[in-house]
Structure 1
Amino acid sequence: MYQIHFYRDKNGKEPVKEYLRELSSKTDKDSRINLNKIRDYIKALSEYGLSLGEPYVKHLSGDIWELRPVRNRILFFAYDGKSFILLSHFIKKTQKTPAREIEKAKRLIRDFLERSGSNQ
């Protein structure tokens, strides 16, 4: 079993957790479906890790992976061999993951590692 952690920036914001809260506050059917699907994928990641494989998870670049519920994408990385850090979220609108999302994830990983004092 793996632990799932939400990335928290220096101001205390947790982008993925905030997105899940936003979805849970909506009452429309699509939001409920998306929220349940994302929760199911996060639970599966905690149980099976990267062995889930596609279509659930996909390696993007370096340490960056994506969780792939429907059109939602949650970028994450493996940490300390037993945890995953959920970094950011976006809605996929094109075939290829936008470079800006990958660059953002790289920045968040650097920030996380610097502030956690880790040299993973």
Structure 2
Amino acid sequence: MYEIHFYRDKNGKEPVKEYIAKLAAKKDKDSRIKLNKIMDYVKTLSEYGTRAGEPYIKHIDGDIWELRPLRDRILFAAWDGNGFVLLHFFMKRTQKTPQKEIERAKRNLADYQGRKHHENK
């Protein structure tokens, strides 16, 4: 089993966790379907890691991977040898993952790594 961590910015915001909570608070059928699919994919990541492969997971660039539930995309990276950190989410609207979304995930990862490094000193 792999540990799943949520990226938290310096202001305490956790974008992926907050998105999941927002879906959980909604009562419509589409939100429930999305939430269940996201949770299934996160569970798959925690059980199989990146070995789960497509259609669940796809390598994007460098350290960045994506979970692919429906049209949602959750960008993540390996963390601390036995886990993953969920960095950023967006709704897929194009065939290719937009570079700006990848760059945001990379910035979030660099921020997370920097702050975790200082916490462990």
Same fold at TM > 0.5: yes
The equivalent residue for 2:10 is 10
The equivalent residue for 1:76 is 76
Q: SS state of the match for residue 65, structure 1?
A: strand
Partners in 2 of 1:92 and 1:24 — Cα distance? 20
Q: SS state of the match for residue 115, structure 1?
A: helix
The equivalent residue for 1:35 is 35
- Give the length in aligned residue pairs: 118
Is residue 109 of structure 1 aligned with residue 109 of structure 2? yes
Q: Which runs of 5+ in 2 are unaligned?
A: none
Identity fraction in percent: 66
State the TM-score, normalized to the length of structure 1.
0.96
Alpha-carbon offset, residue 81 of structure 1? 1.6
Deviations 1:19-65 (A, max 9, x none): 00110111110000000000000011000001000010000000000
Q: Stretches of 4+ moved more than 3 A in 1? A: none
The equivalent residue for 1:60 is 60
Partners in 2 of 1:50 and 1:102 — Cα distance? 18
State the TM-score, normalized to the length of structure 2.
0.96
